[in-house]
Amino acid sequence: MPDLFVTGTDTGVGKTLLSALLVAAQDLDYWKPIQTGASEGTDRQTVLMCAGIAAERAHPEAYIFDPPVSPHLAAELKGVEIEIERIVRPPTSKRLVIEGAGGVLVPINSQLFMLDLARHLQTSVVVASRTALGTINHTLLTIAAVRKAELEITGVVMIGKENKENFHAVERYGNVPVVGWIPWLERVDRETLRTAFKRHFDTHAFA
């Protein structure tokens, strides 16, 4: 099975929450190759805390930048360019959850996008999507971009208040399975994440 590349329809949709859930529920390792906004804390630290895994199971970033901006701009501000060839899969025998930065068309340098990183790492894509108004357009655009890049799609995971109409619309018009839903969680820890996976996910999609 290929590694899972978690992307989102936009920034702040819940990629890190979904990543932590998959790590906790499926006993996977975690890696965020490019981290921006490190001055406010890293997603690696969040996943370690929420998924309750050992530190060595969350692998160090290939690139890490302090400003909370797009990777290409963060690199420019530091006077460097992100080189995709330097982003090499960590030496682990476990399947990885690889978290992208922002959405699939976020640029990582003057020529390449997050989509190119997913293709470089030969992953299957999981799309984190909101349940709220506007999600159909954002999700279908993301799916179209992933398909144009000829990447495998595991499915869409919707996050937020349940909205069955939007679930069905995404599946119908995107011709893609909604493989999970993450409702509002009163607390986020290993136990609640594993429970949410059992209750609200198509577990066979990740087997």
CA nearest neighbour of 56 among 48, 68, 65, 64 = 48
The β-bridge relationship of strands 178-182 and 63-64 is unpaired
Of 32, 78, 94, 148, which one is the catalytic site residue?
A: 32
Tokens matching residue 22: 């998959």
H/E stretch holding 5 reads strand 4-8
Q: With contact defined as beta carbons under 8 Å apart, do 96 and 89 qualify?
A: yes
Active site annotation includes 32: yes
Dihedrals phi, psi of 130, to nearest 5 degrees: -75, 160
d(CA 113, CA 36): 15
Give the CA distances from residue 122 to residues 1, 2, 152, in Å, rounded to whole numbers and listed in that order: 11, 7, 9
Q: Catalytic site residues?
A: 32
